Structure 1
């Protein structure tokens, strides 16, 4: 069986070879064009000198035809070259991910980080070394934000989770579709820095062809204003779509040109065409800023439209079995007869007409033909026909991109499994060989189970033994399950629970919040969720560590007892071994587990294996000595 790593490596080699081939071919045809050009010029000069004008004309036509033909062939080769480059870079990026080098990817989703969210900050969903950084392969603003939105809003119904599982599983098998969709975006918008800077600078293209982090930020800043084009597309101006106005801007220039011709032959006074041109000039001066604003919006989003058009075209032409994805395709088409990508492409072509405004002779042509008004009329017709669908198109493509990114976890880790989802809380949580999906090949896996009779685990252990990592492993696995994604386990079954974590808290000088008070705010969030009768799964890591030992012990004990009485599920890690007494006090409703270390050749080792019972080892003194702290026996 071909592993994902071998598959990506094979593709890197194949597209690298194609890129070399097309680069050489493009250069060769470029040389052919130069040769044809200079030979053609030379022959034309010679024939002109010898007054062979007929042969010169034939020769010019022949060599011009050859030059055009070579240009067409070269452009075709350049397209293949660009496609090969995009696919080469995509597969190199995928290879980096599967080899555990994804932490170097530049897009970490830092703007989605929120320390006050109930789990994203604690479970490394956004930021450095996060789930977002690992799997994000979106190429649009909509896709990027949809992926973040999905991470922030787990599904709450079993049928919705199973539907998304099906969609993600199918997309994971469609590697070519996913990569072609991404390559279309890269080719359509060369300012799109999907590849990290190291790849850009060491790749076949110069650094000017693809942007660095700074250009990526500029792109995202531009795309961040999609609301602008949504609003523009929905706004209609009936004046510019009325038959009377269209007749006026068509008939007046024709009449003025006729009067100009007649005045040349002395049939009419020359003042009449002058009057006509004056009226047309005044018409162009009227609300010129309004027209410019419309044109500027189309110009600003020209590349964005190309990106979306390419992705939509790829999506609409692909066949799917998933009901959920097919429903997205149906929504994308809507009531319109034309495919969505064609409608967006029409707007892109309109921009090509509008771009003539930058032509040197535009001012003259504009006054003579009212060109700007004709462009505005065509824009208005497009808005009436297609404008109301723009936001829906972008949203759907965003979701397809987000699902494609989520499917990467399934494709790149065939050993991961789709979890069994149950709506019965009493069925409990069962996991076999559960590991953290972000830790790669070095991860350590453990079995774990919860049920309604034993819903809370108390994890003890020495420093660095793996307590916090295990809490995050269970937390992120439960999250992935409710997102419809695979989990790193041989078996995983769980009910639908809402995750609340209190693991990373720190001082906030700007808001005068101490770490202890920050913990209290997180605890309050958990307690309030429980009081709202939410199906809570909590994660508490060294709770109340910001206060003295006596208060910490008393507060933690009271909190755990309170949560236990409320029939919640969760995990608590602690160095406070006295909390282990809660197992007896709760009649084993709270269970004790632990991690431990061992020593060999005067060195400390951790096996990261979860064991039943209370920790019986300590390593703080040993670690302090390792750090150079002098500790007396």
Structure 2
């Protein structure tokens, strides 16, 4: 099955590469034609000066400028198509890389890591080789943030079920998913504040003085100059009037140069960007959706004709950029007060549309998060959609559950906690699989409550809040010893059990930073306090005495273990969870292997 999925991506990548090559050839052809038209414009200006006749310039303006604009538009379209297919090729190759090696061209989410978060550091949610690196397909900064928030905290059952339905629908529309990723790939790695600056630009009026009067003059200026040129054809002595009008027009534009530069600072960077976003908005709007969440998100865009309006703004900004070509800019401003027209049009657009723009980009972010989760369902079709249940107690049952970040021969286990309250003590040898099993349960629960599929044949889980105590580190910057760091983490865990709803804790070897007697007594006291608070979770430990708590609390404590088989001095691990307590440990064997006998 995996090979079939890889073959699909490889064929799609090849097809996209072929299309990109075709459009590149077309774009190059039109680029040469555009250069030829520009040369003719320069020659027309030379003839106008030499012959002292505006007839040549008028004809050149009408014919050559129209031809130039058409060629620019066609070349731009071919370049957009080439870039789109190159991006489509890239995202398909990225899926192949993700499946075969775990590589991912998208952000790994390291900026969202926080050692003091309830679980993200201990469960490898963010950073290199993390869950976020496996899942993320968000190119925009807002999409990255949205996905991170979904993985950092659980939501309610209704929202999880809505996301599941949306993810299921997107995963069955593979072409739409990959095409949307290709349309948004331009944003991957862009400055995080790019959209923030765009929103500021759209909400901040330019405040150009005399805007109403300029708008009226810009409407009649081309007709005045055209009339003057026509009069000049019959009365050559009147050519000074035409020149004067052209100079007045240029002077008006120059008088507003400060406002034009102010708009240029932002506009020069976002024209093409907005065009790319417009295509993504259109992709969402035009798709026929059936999942409730997808329908609602698309409707937010359709209600405001988002793709059409964003495309209009993109065109206005790109038109403003015409003045970057000095000769074209002079001609356009002399005849049409071009820059003034575009600035006023942009300001009118902002007044009419700025209020809903941020909501529209949040729709993009949410779809990117859903696309990211759907990548798991697409690439790993044997993974299951978990059943989100409501129960008075805690429910977390799984069949053949394995760790999604273990790429080579992961071992699956079954686990059952069905509408009850209990603490599971897990004992076992070093390297037998205790810590990995805790992380397996934790990371799949995070996926389940984000709305994704999980690495299991089946899973049932109630809405719980995972809290971990695993990788306890000292901190030189904070003058914190390992033991002090452990106490801080325990305090956080106990406070969470006391104050948060449905906390499910995962504790891996408590109080490692103290002596064995205090370690046992302290661990026992913590677990008994958790029992008194009706805490629920798992505790992995090497200390067999902790397993004796089952004798004291037979209705609350359950014992499990991972064992080791020793055959001819060799240690064999099966990494399978079993009921009861461990009887075989391997520390002495490991020490003997490095030359320490006792």
TM-score of the alignment, normalized to the shorter chain, above 0.5: yes
CA contact (8 A) 1:595 1:615 kept: yes
Cα 1:27/1:249, change in 2 over 3 Å: closer
* SS of equivalent to 1:604: strand
1:406 to 343, 351, 373: 373
The equivalent of 1:170 in structure 2 is 169
CA contact (8 A) 1:460 1:576 kept: yes
Question: Deviations 1:332-381 (Å, cap 9, x if unpaired)?
Answer: 223x3xx3222111122112211122112235753664332211111012
Question: Deviations 1:28-85 (Å, cap 9, x if unpaired)?
Answer: 9979999xx99xxxxxxxxxxxxxxxxxxxxxxxxxxxxx999999999877765554
The equivalent of 1:159 in structure 2 is 158
The correspondence of residues 448-459 of structure 1 with structure 2, limited to 5 A, is 448-451=415-418, 454-459=421-426
Cα 1:109/1:427, change in 2 over 3 Å: closer
The equivalent of 1:632 in structure 2 is 597
Structure 1 unmatched runs, 5+: 39-67, 194-215
Q: Distance in 2 between matches of 1:132 and 1:140?
A: 15
The equivalent of 1:198 in structure 2 is none
Q: Distance in 2 between matches of 1:24 and 1:270?
A: 50
2:340 to 373, 398, 421: 373
CA contact (8 A) 2:400 2:456 kept: yes
Structure 2 unmatched runs, 5+: 37-68
Q: Distance in 2 between matches of 1:279 and 1:486?
A: 63
The correspondence of residues 198-237 of structure 1 with structure 2, limited to 5 A, is 216=189, 219=190, 221=191, 223-236=192-205
**Does structure 1 residue 331 correspond to structure 2 residue 329?**
no
Q: Distance in 1 between matches of 2:384 and 2:321?
A: 52
Q: Distance in 2 between matches of 1:399 and 1:433?
A: 31
Q: Distance in 1 between matches of 2:90 and 2:103?
A: 17
**Does structure 1 residue 467 correspond to structure 2 residue 434?**
yes
TM-score (norm 1): 0.80
The equivalent of 2:567 in structure 1 is 600
The correspondence of residues 4-15 of structure 1 with structure 2, limited to 5 A, is 4-13=2-11, 15=13
Cα 1:174/1:364, change in 2 over 3 Å: closer
* Aligned-pair CA distance for 1:25: 9.5
* SS of equivalent to 1:414: coil
Q: Distance in 2 between matches of 1:77 and 1:269?
A: 42
**Does structure 1 residue 507 correspond to structure 2 residue 474?**
yes
The equivalent of 2:534 in structure 1 is 567
Q: Distance in 1 between matches of 2:260 and 2:77?
A: 36
The equivalent of 2:447 in structure 1 is 480
Cα 1:249/1:69, change in 2 over 3 Å: closer
Q: Distance in 2 between matches of 1:501 and 1:535?
A: 14
CA contact (8 A) 2:23 2:78 kept: yes
The correspondence of residues 52-201 of structure 1 with structure 2, limited to 5 A, is 84-99=85-100, 101-103=101-103, 105=105, 107-155=107-155, 157-186=156-185, 189=186
TM-score (norm 2): 0.84
* SS of equivalent to 1:494: strand
**Does structure 1 residue 19 correspond to structure 2 residue 17?**
yes
The equivalent of 2:65 in structure 1 is none
Q: Distance in 2 between matches of 1:320 and 1:607?
A: 46
**Does structure 1 residue 358 correspond to structure 2 residue 324?**
yes
* Aligned-pair CA distance for 1:511: 1.9
* Aligned-pair CA distance for 1:12: 1.0
Q: What CA RMSD, in Å, does the superposition of the two structures yield over aligned residues?
A: 3.7
Question: Deviations 1:455-485 (Å, cap 9, x if unpaired)?
Answer: 1111111111111111111111222221122
Q: Distance in 2 between matches of 1:253 and 1:344?
A: 28
* Aligned-pair CA distance for 1:104: 6.1
- Of the structure 1 ranges 524-533 and 386-395, higher mean CA displacement relative to structure 2 is found in 524-533
Q: Distance in 1 between matches of 2:94 and 2:444?
A: 25
